[in-house]
Amino acid sequence: MKKDVTILDYGIGNLLSVSRAIHESGGIANITDDREKIATADYLILPGVGNFSLAIKELRDRGFEESILNHQSKERPLLGICLGMQLFFDSSEEEGLHKGLGIISGSVKSIPTKNQSGFSHKIPHIGWSPLELNLKEDNESKSILNDQHDGQFFYFIHSYQGHVDKAEECIAITKYNDLNITAVIQKNYAIGCQFHPEKSGENGIKFLKSFLSY
Amino acid sequence: MRNIRLIARLDIKAPNLVKGIQLEGLRKLGDPNIFAKKYYQEGIDEIYFEDIVASLYERNSLVEIIKRTTENVFVPITVGGGLRNINDISSALRSGADKVSINTAAIKNPEIIKKAAKRFGSQSIVLSIQAKKNTNGWEAYFDNGREHSGIDAVDWASRGEELGAGELLVTSVDKEGMAKGFDSELIKEISSNVSIPVIASGGMGKLDHLSDVIKLGGADAVAMAHVLHYEILTLNEIRDYAFKEGIPIRNI
């Protein structure tokens, strides 16, 4: 049976592309800003591009923070994409210090522009980059990722990156020059990806299928 | 690792895909969605659509084409041509575009880059620079290479970064459609002056051109039209060549 997927419309993010990718992955996408519909959602997606402070303000002003946290506390599958993933963290330093949803312990900081030897990283980090899995035996079984995803390329576009406090909650990184970038985070049924699965070709569709298999 | 992106550039004169030489003398090639889908299936990293008459006739017909493309193409899509204000940008992004590129409107009013970057995030805003060589360097052109601005293209690139553009699309008007190689000097001047990614456009005709613009020019991404549309090179050939040359690209 096709799974119903609720995509949260809070005025930010490429909703059309996400809904089409869900359709391609075998789900039925519903874009909504109706809190009652969100409260009964099985699968919830928090998309997002742009600025953290604007996004978290929109979520709070529209009363969605509580909806998301309720959904998460019921152990229903939740997927944050790009900025949506960054919103899961405790805080972000994008244009001042802002409190996030606090689903994942840690913070969001800008990608450094230079490394120790003075090499400049172009910012934003834009492009296709492979995942390096960080799965321990205890998180392997319920992880959204498996060996099939290791080394697969996904599309990234971002200037900020998440830093987890608990290493096991970062289940994949990617490398940008010599930097380690948090690529996928997971805590039970709350999953976040820094890349855009809806823009990552076949690999992205496979990733969304994995999400829908929960 | 920093991977070089291979971008298919589709110039549109609605409803057709067209290709010109030095942005003029357009030939109709067919339905842009068919080309976009083919490139997607062959593993293109991104697709760039430019409505090349939009700015001249003050209209934008790309929205319908993008809506169709995003039904079954799951790679990033950039849209340019005739986007004049925040509403135009918003409507392109809402139709499935991930990024917009702005040239004419930014030359007429640079503040649009700042406003758009603040509203949609720098990563959505590409400053498109059409550069033509002159005796002192390069000058920025607009209205699809027809009008000159008097602005130095290299200075304009830095200014674009300051204003908040997340990326630069640099098209050499002299090299565009000639298939004789990129203006690697131009790309080098600009890419060494900014810390945002630079897409090189205009001039790809054979495999060696790719290596030149990346290794000599420092391009972060390469936009190709002629070689793909006329099937002079396949993406597989380009990919194989890049691996052989040690150019890091997506492994598919």
Tokens of B37: 């889908």
B24: distance to nearest CA of chain A, Å? 31
CB contact (8 A) between residue B123 and residue A127: no
Active-site choice (A98, A125, A149, A196): A196
Minimal CA separation from A73 to chain B, in Å? 31
Task: Report the residue from A20, A124, A202 with minimal CB separation from B123.
Answer: A124
How does pLDDT run across B165-194, given as a tens digit for each residue? 999 999 999 999 999 999 999 999 999 999
**Alpha-carbon span A192 to A88, nearest angstrom:** 8
Residues 6 or more apart whose CB falls under 8 angstroms from that of A76 comprise: A41, A42, A43, A44, A189
CB A92 within 8 A of CB A64: no
Q: Do A127 and B96 touch (CB under 8 A)?
A: no
A15: left (phi over 0), alpha (psi -120 to 50) or beta: alpha
Q: Which of A82, A94, A98, A170 is catalytic?
A: A82
Kindly state whether B33 is in contact with chain A, defined as any CB-CB distance less than 8 angstroms: no
pTM over 0.90: yes
Q: Among B136, B3, B196, B81, which residue's Cα sits nearest to residue A124?
A: B196
As given in the structure block, the two tokens for residue A135 are 């799965």
Q: What's the rounded mean pLDDT across residues A163-177?
A: 96
Can you tell me the mean pLDDT for B113-120?
A: 94
Share of chain B above pLDDT 70, in %: 97
Q: At A90, which CATH number?
A: 3.40.50.880
A82 given a catalytic annotation? yes
A185 has pLDDT over 60: yes
Residue A111 DSSP one-character state: P
Is A149 among the catalytic positions? no
Domain hosting A79: range is: 4-212
SS3 A46: strand
Q: Rounded distance, CA B164 to CA B122, Å? A: 6
Tell me what pLDDT residue A140 has: 65
Which of the four pLDDT bands, split at 50, 70 and 90, describes residue A68? very high
Percent of chain A at pLDDT > 90 equals: 84
Q: Which SS3 state, helix, strand or coil, does residue B239 take?
A: helix
pLDDT tens digits, one per residue of A194-204: 999 999 999 99
The full 3-state SS of A137-183, as one line of letters, equals HHHHCCCCCCHHHCCCEEEEEECEEEEECCHHHEEEEEEECCEEEEE
Query: Residue A193 catalytic?
Result: no
Give yes or no for residue B136 having a pLDDT over 60. yes
What pLDDT was estimated at residue A114?
84
Most B-contacting residue of A128, A160, A194, A208 (CB-CB within 10 A), to test interface? A128
What is the mean pLDDT of the segment spanning B154-165?
A: 98
What's residue B182's pLDDT?
Answer: 98
C-alpha span between B129 and B60 (Å, rounded): 19
Q: Say if the Cβ atoms of A129 and B94 lie within 8 Å.
A: no
By C-alpha distance, the chain A residue nearest B71 is: A20
| Closest residue in A to B121 (Cα–Cα) | A50
Cross-chain residue pair B195–A123, CB shorter than 8 Å: yes
Residue A154, token pair as written in the block: 């996904």
Interface probe for B, chosen from A7, A12, A15, A17 (most Cβ of B below 10 Å), is A17
- When divided into structural domains, chain A yields a total of 1
Domains along the sequence of chain B with CATH: 5-244 (3.20.20.70)
- The stretch A25-49 carries a mean pLDDT of 95
CB–CB contact A113 B45 (8 Å): no
List of residues 6+ apart from A197 with CB closer than 8 A: A21, A81, A154, A203, A204, A205, A207, A208
Q: Is A116 exposed, middle or buried (0-12, 13-18, 19+ CB in 10 A)?
A: exposed
3-state secondary structure (DSSP) of residue B238: helix
Q: What is the ipTM of this complex?
A: 0.94
Contacts of residue B196 in chain A, CB cutoff 8 Å? 122-124
Q: Closest Cα to residue B196, out of B171, B216, B221, B175? A: B221
Contact yes or no for A201 and B167 at CB 8 A = no
β-pair type (B198-201, B167-172): parallel
